[in-house]
Amino acid sequence: MLYRQLIPYGPPSAFRRQPQAERNEAIVEDFSNYHSTSSSSDESSIITERKIALIELKIELVQLQVNHPSEDEDEQVKIQQKIKYYSDKLEETKKALLQEKGTKEFVEQVEKEESISELKNMISKLTLQQPPKKDDCSLN
């Protein structure tokens, strides 16, 4: 998909003639077609990225729960909002990972872990397992 297809050109009235839902649907169709040709190596790197994201969200939650014993009521409300936000994101990531094969044990392990250093070790192990990505502009 070309960048120009995403950016409307011309007077705004020309784009109001086509309903917003139809424009959004066209963009979503192009996006799904673009990403439907992924290879298995791309899928494994996506799974690895999701695993890392899950661990990072867990680290944020643990830090919020441990490091902020504030007595100020406004601070407590902000912290509770952050905890809810990170909890929701953690659940979304967990659901996405559980749809993949062989990730259930990993998700359970991350859920049980409360040590930040151990969670960071898990990230470093995942990044070492992940093969380096080839750039389009590499000289090989």
Rounded mean pLDDT, 93-119: 89
pTM value is 0.61
CA distances for 64 relative to 20, 108, 112, 118, angstroms: 40, 21, 17, 17
pLDDT higher than 80, residue 61: yes
pLDDT higher than 70, residue 70: no
Show me where the domains of the chain are located. Answer: 3-35, 40-129
pLDDT higher than 70, residue 82: yes
**Of 2-16, 79-93, 123-137, which gets the smallest average pLDDT?**
2-16
The H or E element that residue 5 is part of is helix 3-6
pLDDT in tens, 29-58: 555 444 444 455 677 888 888 889 899 999
CA atoms within 13 A on the CB side of 134: 6
Rounded mean pLDDT, 112-132: 84
CA distances for 93 relative to 36, 77, 101, 107, 126, angstroms: 20, 24, 15, 10, 16
Measured between its terminal Cα atoms, the distance across the chain in Å is 27
Q: Who contacts 83 (Cβ-Cβ below 8 Å, separation ≥6)?
A: 61, 64, 65
CA distances for 77 relative to 60, 64, 82, 86, 110, angstroms: 17, 12, 9, 14, 26
Rg (CA), the chain: 21
pLDDT higher than 80, residue 110: yes
pLDDT higher than 60, residue 14: no
